[in-house]
Structure 1
Amino acid sequence: MQNSKLFYLFQSIRGDDIRRLRRFLHSPYFNSREDVVRLFEYLHANEAEGALLTKEAVFAHLFPGTTYDDGRMNAVMHFLFKLLKQFVVQREFELESSQPYLTRALRKRKLPRLFEPASKKWKKQLDKAQVRNAGYHFQQYQYQLEKYEYDHRQRRSGRMNLEEITEALTTYYIADLLRHSCTILTAQKVSQEAYEPVLLQGILTHLDRTEKELPPAVVVYRYAYLALSNPKEKTYFSKLLLHIEAHWQQFPPAEARDLYLLAVNYCIQRLNQGEKPYIRQALQLYQQALQRSLLVEEGVLSKFTYNNILMLAIGLQEWEWAKQFLEDYRHALPDLERDNLYRYNLAILYFRQGAYARAMELLRRVTFSDVLYNLNARTMLLRTYYELEEYDALFALLDSFEVYIRRQKGMGYHRSHYQALLQFTRRLLHLPEGDKGGRAQLKADIQAAPATAERAWLLNKLD
């Protein structure tokens, strides 16, 4: 039963939502089946059992003294699953403003005495709203549309708000298109897939020519897109930073975080071109986002962000700040991986400081299911054993590392990169002392290899 869609969805409902769900299921408006309520209570009480929740055992609890009936059991599960889906939709609705739905309902029911005050209240809410992202402009469009639908049925002449409708819709479309176009530019760096956003070039030309002051939802993404698509033109990036600083509070926290990450991505582009000053700029952006509580979402900091920030601090040799950062945000790492991620990143810090013994102690206690994390951890351990001249441990690691690579599927180009590292490391270890010819040949082979993990380190050891 633990593999059912019902149980999969049920496990996502936590905390106060469990109490809300119980009231929801007891409401006769939504549910009139007592067996569905009993199934919910049983799942809630026995969720931790996981694999032990067989359909037969649950059926015996729901219908004691009754022979197991798979069709009847499936029916109860179906009804509860249907109600759970209805509940999560209801919760999503409750988290949004109900004013648009109320206003629309009153208009459709032809209740002008109620519609007009509801419409005015909605307008006040929009005018006072702090968030001014694309979603805000979509709400403006919805408001103007409802106003038009009401007005043109009440009177046949006079000015209609058609211009306001098109302006709000256009602003929403441009802002959202630019936002998604920035995401596309970032994705292209990874996937190398070709994307061609419809109408984008025409919109950029239109924005260049307009004399109107652009709203934050447009201007920020405009400069983000121009900076990412024209990285050598530093003016765009400077303007992006100015507008993020001026307007970040007008975006929801998750979207403000994404704006900072777009700016960080620009810095990474410049770093990949060898422009080292952008290490400092990228770290400052992360630090600013941390200070503004934008990177921790629902109490969790992404493990990738945790590692990225550490690597930037290491690049600047800000050792004390890096160590404090690892400690300060250890509690915010994902629960199931917290200890592993903390030890892994602390090992990186010690490793880069040359404290190999301390790094080795931590790495021996790191276990990851993620292939890339495993590769990185094993590579650090390989280099650590070499630096400490722990040759017996190193040879054992080379053997186990090779077995690990052979067993992994879907490694892509990483497989050949790390196989080359193991091969060249073995040759390096077997070189007789004073064998200049052998060292020269190994160096030439490493340099000629299409791709090798830790190539710079191998060449450094030969030199």
Structure 2
Amino acid sequence: MNDSKLVKYIAELGTRDRERLRQLVQSPFFNQHKPTMELLDFILKAITKENGQLSREKVYQKLFPKSSFDEQKLHNVMSNLKKLFHRFLAIDYIEKQPLQEDLYTLEAAFDRNQFELMSNSAKLLEKHLDEQQFEDYFFHYAQYRVAHNLGYYGGHYVDRTKSETLQAMLDHFDRSFLIEKLRNCCHLTANSMQVNTHYDFGLLTPLLGYIQTHYIDVVEPDKDWSIRLYWTILQTMRDEGNAQHYQELKKMLNESFDKFSPESQKDLYGFASNYCIRRSMMGDEEYKRELFDLYKRGLETGLLLNNGIITEFNYKNIATLGGNLREFDWTERFLQEYKAMLPPSKRENVYNYNLAYLFYNKKQYKQVLSSLLHVQFTDVMYYLNSNFLMLRTYYALKDTEALLSLIETFRIFVMRNKKMSPTQRKEYTNFLRFAKKLVELKHHGGTYTRSALEEKLKALRAKIEATDSVINRSWLLEEAN
């Protein structure tokens, strides 16, 4: 039984939650089946002991001492306990959500025609909602649920000519829908830009026009902050070349940050940072220092951490930028201090790659290759990033044979890999084409006269600058200079 999913799920609970689960299972309101209570006790005792074993036959004998082993009968008890475990999770989750129990009480009272209780619950809820600091998705959805019950109660039993409550119901539902629609479209648009995924965004295009007319270009800008936030974030990705959208995000960061819920604050910070990343990768150098300052702010405020964990992508971006800006001491401290906050399954891989990148920026090239030996290619991006770093290291060491071999292997991988988006594939193939030409010119420069080499490098720079899709353009231009 130790390998059953039920035992595994219970073992994953903390000590406090195990006790609360036991209390629920023993409560006659939820369960009156004694073998189910006893089964949970056996499981709890076994998982608290080192190498505690649960034999199906022995457990069955303790549950049903007067009958021979029946697999189906034991399965039924386990199934009942599993249902109670699911109920425990649901109740625990509801209890942790703000106002959720009060909303269910209101709706249950309406369903049971207990209208006095419903009215009293609605008054209490409206008071709590008035005290809410953020008008986010949940705020509007909760307002919708309150207005829904009061509006239809009034229409059926009081005065159907009064429409204010039902109009409020519609308004709050629209706002809750728009916020959640925009928020998800922001995250999925970002996902499709990073990996080769595609989504049908449905009503998004007509909604964007409606939002701009009714919520963005309005006389009173100091309202509907969540809608304005996610609309602006989406524009930074759909109209990337227009820096005005980013400036609006920056203004929200500096002047209106406390108007957003913690979740929206993370989105505001995260998407502003991602915009700076994309602009930096396109060669807009002025965004690098601004991004570095954003990263420092995110670490200081905890915005870059999720329950004490930093993602491998944020860790890499911070380390890369710190090295590029020659903030070597700060970056080395960051790598060491935040290593323990990486997800355990990826910790060593992420740390070794970023340590290699720091060595590269410090021109310690042999240490680069040594660190990269410990990096496993667990996904496409690690392969691309590690090979790009190795390419630059071979270039710095002037190991032409290894360099040209790597460029060809790299090119074949990019052309054959189906997980890369067409845009990514084009960016990398252009980079590798220019890198090969650069190697041929710089490492075989002795075959040209000085003036001929300068002319060829000048022509190469012009081609690099004229080509739209080239990743790591700044490195190519720097080395071709």
Determine if the alignment matches structure 1 residue 238 to structure 2 residue 226. Answer: no
Structure ranking higher on relative contact order (CA contacts 8 Å, 6+ apart): 2
Post-superposition offset of 1:247: 3.8
Paired residues of 1:343 and 1:362 also in contact (CA < 8 A): yes
SS of the residue 1:13 aligns to:
coil
Query: Partners of 1:289 and 1:384 in 2: how far apart?
Result: 31
Please state if 1:44 is matched with 2:41.
Answer: no
Report the counterpart of residue 20 of structure 1 in structure 2. Answer: 20
**What's 1:200 paired with?**
208
User: For the Cα contact (< 8 Å) 1:100–1:143, is it kept in 2?
Assistant: yes
The match for 1:332 among 337, 341, 348 is 341
Q: Percent identity?
A: 25
Q: 1:434 to 1:230 in 2, by over 3 A?
A: closer
The 5 A counterparts of 1:160-309 are 160=163, 161-190=165-194, 191=197, 195-196=201-202, 197=204, 199-208=207-216, 210-212=218-220, 213-309=222-318
Deviation beyond 6 Å, 4+ runs, structure 1: 46-49, 388-392, 408-418, 431-436, 451-463
**What secondary structure is seen at the aligned counterpart in 2 of 1:321?**
helix
TM-score normalised per structure 2: 0.74
CA contact (8 A) 1:220 1:244 kept: no
Give the partner amino acid of 1:271.
S
CA distance in 2, matches of 1:434, 1:47: 71
1:83 aligns with 84
Q: 1:112 to 1:181 in 2, by over 3 A?
A: same
Deviations 1:408-455 (A, max 9, x none): 99776999989x99xx8xx99xx999788xxx9xx9xxx9xxx99999
* Corresponding position of 1:62: 59
Note closer, same or farther for the CA distance 1:377–1:201 as it changes in structure 2 (3 Å cut).
Answer: same
CA contact (8 A) 2:360 2:368 kept: yes
Please tell me the root mean square deviation across aligned C-alpha atoms, in Å: 4.8
**Whole-angstrom CA distance in 1 between matches of 2:49 and 2:149:** 48
- Report which stretch shifted further, 365-374 or 100-109: 365-374
CA–CA distance in structure 1, aligned partners of residues 285 and 243 of structure 2: 15
- Is the partner of 2:290 in helix, strand or coil? helix
Distance of 1:249 and 1:336 partners within structure 2: 35
- 8 Å contact from structure 1 (residues 175, 217) kept in 2: yes
Query: In structure 2, what residue type is equivalent to 1:273?
Result: M
Give the secondary structure class of the aligned counterpart of 2:171. Answer: helix
- 1: CA distance, partners of 2:186 / 2:392: 38
Alignment of 1:323 onto 2:329:
no
**Range moving further from structure 2, 453-462 or 346-355:** 453-462
Match of 2:460 in 1: none
Q: Distance in 2 between matches of 1:119 and 1:455?
A: 60
Q: Deviations over 1:140-188 (max 9, x none)?
A: 1112222223434552367442222222122222222222332343233
Aligned partner of 2:124 in structure 1 is: 121
Name the CA distance, whole Å, in 1 between partners of 2:49 and 2:72: 22
| Counterpart residue type for residue 314 of structure 1 | G
Q: Which moved more, 1:9-18 or 1:182-191?
A: 9-18
Which range is displaced more, 133-142 or 230-239? 230-239
Task: Measure the CA separation in 2 of the matches of 1:282 and 1:63.
Answer: 62
Residues 187-245 of structure 1 deviation map (CA, whole Å, 9 limit, x = unaligned): 33233556442633333333355434532111212222233222232222212222244
Residue-pair matches, total: 447
Kindly indicate whether the alpha-carbon contact (under 8 Å) linking 2:319 and 2:331 is maintained by their aligned counterparts in 1. yes
Quote the Cα distance in structure 1 between the aligned partners of 2:470 and 2:274: 26
Letter in 1 for 2:108: A
SS of 2:48 mapped into structure 1: helix
> What amino acid is aligned across from residue 215 of structure 2 in structure 1?
L
* Aligned AA (1:134): Y
Structure 2 spans left out of the alignment, 5+ residues: 458-462, 464-468
Are 1:35 and 1:76, in contact at CA under 8 Å, matched by a contact in 2?
no
